[in-house]
Amino acid sequence: MSRIDAKFAQLRAEGKKAFVAYVMAGDPDYDTGLEIVKGLPKAGVDIIELGMPFTDPMADGATIQLAGQRALEAGQNLEKTLEYARVLRKEDDTTPIVMMGYYNPIYSRGVDTFLNDAKAAGIDGLIIVDLPPEEDEELCIPAQKMGINFIRLATPTTDDKRLPKVLENTSGFVYYVSVTGITGTAEAQAGDVAPEVARIKSQTDLPVIVGFGIKTPDAAEAIAKIADGAVVGSAIVEKIGAGESVASVLDFVQSLADGTHRG
């Protein structure tokens, strides 16, 4: 059983939904970013999504684009992002870590090298937003063989014809993108999301987690009531970008976790 599977089993036993927090590795700098990441589990985060800084983040809005720029300018790279996982694993061997981003940095490193390094670092899953199912042989299948979950995005435009293809090699959980567009723009509406989550769950036993457009504890709670959990990224990254203290950022994360766990 993977860490992700074990976490969902634990949450089900506790009657809770999963709170997933996204932060950009290396934002605003290596040390501050690492301090935030190390504090996430104690702030109630069930699964950590670790953003890989990239120069052309086409699925992301301004907030996360700027976070990537800050991280890159501070010297963050894929190796240092893997180092975050290695450091966290020295004190936490249970919180799942999912790397989220784009394929180019992985391709540049080499798929086999990356997967071996990721597995050794304690990475549990990958969300690679620019690799569609038609490219599964590129990274998805090799990752699954290494025991690393490949988590796929489903969106409001993923119709019933396309959905089975999206789900075919997905593992860990399904990430439902609640809005049409980029991160950090429109707000997720539970009423709109609920039938889409039900539609996906009718075709898979995997948990369905909803992200994009969730900005407050109340919104996280509303989404958690109709899904298996909520992802918050831009709202957290916005506070980091505003220069708030690590303690202030983690207090906000705790409020989001509490909201989700009430769901």
And the tokens for 192?
């709109």
End-to-end CA gap in the chain:
26
Catalytic annotation, pick one of 46, 49, 124, 136? 49
Kindly write down the DSSP assignment for every residue of 110-125, as one continuous string.
Answer: -HHHHHHHHHHHT--E
DSSP annotation of 179 reads S
**Per DSSP, which regions of the chain are E strands?**
18-24, 47-51, 97-101, 125-128, 149-150, 153-154, 174-177, 208-211, 229-232
Catalytic annotation, pick one of 46, 60, 124, 221? 60
Residue 240 to residue 24: CA distance in whole angstroms: 10
Where do we find the tokens 């860990």?
Answer: 172
Q: Which of 37, 59, 60, 63 is nearest to 50 (CA)?
A: 37
Q: Which residues pair with 174 in a beta bridge?
A: 208
244 is a catalytic site residue:
no
Residue 63 to residue 234: CA distance in whole angstroms: 6
60 is a catalytic site residue:
yes
Element (H, E) at 241: helix 234-241
Residues that are catalytic: 49, 60
